[in-house]
Amino acid sequence: MKQTRASRRLRPPAFEYHGAASGAHARELYCEAVSLASLASRHGTPLYVYSAAMIRARLDAFRRAFHSIPHTLCYSVKANSTLGILRLVASAGSGFDVVSGGELQRVLRVNRRAASKVVFSGVGKTAAEMELALRSGILLFNLESASELKLLAATAARLKKPAAIAVRVNPDVPAKTHPYISTGLHQHKFGVPIPQARALYAEAAKQPYLKVAGVSVHIGSQITDVGSFQAALERVADLVRGLRKQGHDIRYIDAGGGLGISYEGAQGNFEKQIAAYARAVLAPLRGLKLHLLLEPGRSIVGPAGVLLTRVLYRKTNRRKRFLIVDAAMNDLLRPSLYGAYHEIVPVSRKSRETEIADVVGPICETGDFFARDRRLPVVSEGDLLAILDVGAYGSVLGSNYNTRGRAAELLVNGAKARVIRRRESVQDQLRLEKL
């Protein structure tokens, strides 16, 4: 259906209202060329729906912004690890950033050759995970402690397989984000202080199966102040110069990820945002002649997903209004975990009337909510709501709390939608248990 000028644009090129703004026909929310109401009718709710067009567009924007320097995008698997999403990212030529052996196995399931563009991060790698990564031939290990270096050296020697390494440094740069997802200060568990990193590089150079190859940094997630990235990279660039003077062959800088998105209101111009981010990252690296690794996650898939949920009941406690929906904190944890904001819109916009209400789920926790005291269009029992910008840290944080099955997931490509994760049943959950 052709979009009218009165249609509200939400998340182009992915999510837009189609139809008349007034009259007998309500406006309906679409993902690309597919009606979200039709998907909910066919597949049920709660239901995750992702736009392939938006994911591709954002990957392309990163490539254009960093065209002036040799670089590899290593998509952060922890943001959304559903195989269908990983396959789409891999088909666009991207590599991957993993933080567990399980995530690496997901990448290998999609494309075993993708291992050559995998960086392995995380503070708690086990010997078994290191062995899997070494046998798979990954690009780079990001080391986070002296103990980890010792274990990797021993594992690589036992297998007689060289391991290219970078040390993840902690630049002590504050990131303006939620404290749970800030990682660049000394009080955080991630990385090592720069003076200590120099000693780790010296130790790594002595190990016959460790090959010093780069420096890594990641200061947090959901960061919108690009100045924080520039401050961190300036300290990393100084470290690289010093390490090269000491004879280390530093070929890579892994600048991490963390670029934020707007969860409130319309998304800004991503091309301008990514251009500003690129300037902040690249300015400190002039003249270093290296290969840049980037670990985008949320900024690629965050706005590309919505969670569809149906209103089960309307309820009023004195003056307090509740919309009780069939999705819950086990489907989308961010509001309960971080107090995170997600815009919520009706799939079918029938009225201009609004009300202030809480949007809550059926789980037996007061913390099971998606919005509190939110002004929303008035909806009825049975109506569909779309929770926006859930492509990152949505389904991947799902659980079976209250013995609830995980939601189905669909990937839309133009006028086609395919299931990339079927809805989980109680039988699926019980399969691993014994009486």
Kindly list the catalytic residues: 364
Q: What are phi and psi of 219, to 5 degrees?
A: -105, 0
**Cα–Cα nearest to 18, from 31, 34, 36, 30:** 30
Would you call 164 exposed, middle or buried from its count of C-beta atoms within 10 A (0-12, 13-18, 19+)? Answer: middle
Beta-carbon neighbour count of residue 269 at 10 Å? 9
CA angle, 281 as apex, 224 and 232 as ends, to 5°?
A: 80
The packing angle between helices 270-282 and 52-65, to 10°, is 40
Q: Which of 185, 286, 193, 181 is nearest to 233 (CA)?
A: 286
Q: What is the H or E stretch that residue 200 is in?
A: helix 194-206
Cα–Cα separations (whole angstroms), residue 47 to 178, 369, 402: 27, 17, 18
CB contact at 8 A, 267 and 202? no
Conformational region of residue 271, where left means phi above 0, alpha means psi within -120 to 50, and beta covers everything else: alpha
Contact present, 285 and 229 (Cβ < 8 Å): no
Among 65, 47, 119, 44, CA closest to 274: 65
- Which region, left, alpha or beta, applies to residue 93 given φ > 0 means left and ψ of -120 to 50 means alpha? left
As a whole number of angstroms, the distance between CA 241 and CA 233 comes to: 12
Are 193 and 186 spatial neighbours (Cβ–Cβ below 8 Å)?
Answer: yes
- Reported for 22-27, long-range contacts at CB under 8 A and 24+ positions apart, including other chains, are 26/348, 26/349, 26/350, 27/348, 27/349
Collapsing DSSP states into helix, strand and coil, what is residue 164? strand
- The closest alpha carbon to 61, from 94, 34, 91, 85, belongs to 94
Query: In DSSP terms, which residues pair with 97 in a beta bridge?
Result: 76, 119
E-strand spans in 267-426?
Answer: 291-294, 305-317, 320-325, 344-346, 348-349, 354-360, 369-377, 384-388, 408-413, 416-421
Both tokens assigned to 306: 């919505």
